[in-house]
Amino acid sequence: MRTEHTFAFGMPRSGFMLVDDAAADRADQWATEGATLLRRLAGESLVRFVCPVPEPDRTTLALELGLRCAEAWWHRDLNGRTADVNNDELLRVRGAQGHLVAAPAVYAPGGLVLLVTQLDNRRALAEIEQQAASRGAVVSVVTQAPDDYVREELLLTTGYRRTCDFYEGTLTAMHQRR
């Protein structure tokens, strides 16, 4: 869906509208056309709005609309090698769990992605990364709840960078912007 100066791709999911990709001709247009665009796209559905860290105007819009940060994604490159593995293979080590997944073609990282969903400590992170790299993963992504400062510190000290935040809420219940 688009307005004159903004566009967004929304994908209906079970119980919510995922708005994964969006752009504005100029960053300040998020403040003028972004809210209208998101309301039209999401309707009355719960919306999950992806806000890349390098695009603070999208994050500002999410906050102004009353969306709350549901999770952050942190990335780090791995030294994976090509391997013959199944997509969505579950990996488990003591203290960590994740999945090997293929990234959408638009991201094309050159191999599989390790998506870490459960993590207890630095040792477990190193072990699951090593296991994933040996199976062809070239990137590790770790999810973090917004109030999990212990995980945030672990990720910062192990070379990860926060790249994307996911904001959620219902737009129709929010006040119109003035």
pLDDT digits (tens, 9 = 90+) for 112-171: 899 999 999 999 999 999 999 998 899 999 999 999 999 999 999 999 999 999 999 998
Angle of CA points 79, 85, 88, to nearest 5°: 95
- The predicted structure's pLDDT at residue 96: 97
Residue 84 has pLDDT above 80, yes or no: no
Share of the chain above pLDDT 70, in %: 91
The residue count for the chain: 178
What backbone torsions phi and psi does residue 64 show, to the nearest 5 degrees?
-65, -30
Cα 51 to Cα 56, 59, 62, 128: the distances in Å are 8, 6, 8, 27
| Confidence band for 85, pLDDT divided at 50, 70 and 90 | low
Nearest to residue 80, comparing CAs of 59, 102, 50?
102
- Residue 151's SS3 state is helix
Place of tokens 């559905």: 45
- The DSSP element (H or E) to which 156 belongs, if any, is helix 149-157
User: What CA–CA distance (Å, rounded) separates 66 from 173?
Assistant: 9
| Confidence band for 89, pLDDT divided at 50, 70 and 90 | confident
Mean residue pLDDT across the chain: 87
pLDDT digits (tens, 9 = 90+) for 43-68: 878 999 999 999 999 999 899 889 99
Give the E-state strand segments of 43-151 in sequence order: 46-52, 68-77, 89-93, 96-102, 112-119, 137-144
| Confidence band for 107, pLDDT divided at 50, 70 and 90 | confident
- The predicted structure's pLDDT at residue 40: 84
Pairing of strands 112-119, 96-102: antiparallel
| Confidence band for 87, pLDDT divided at 50, 70 and 90 | low
Residue 178 has pLDDT above 50, yes or no: no
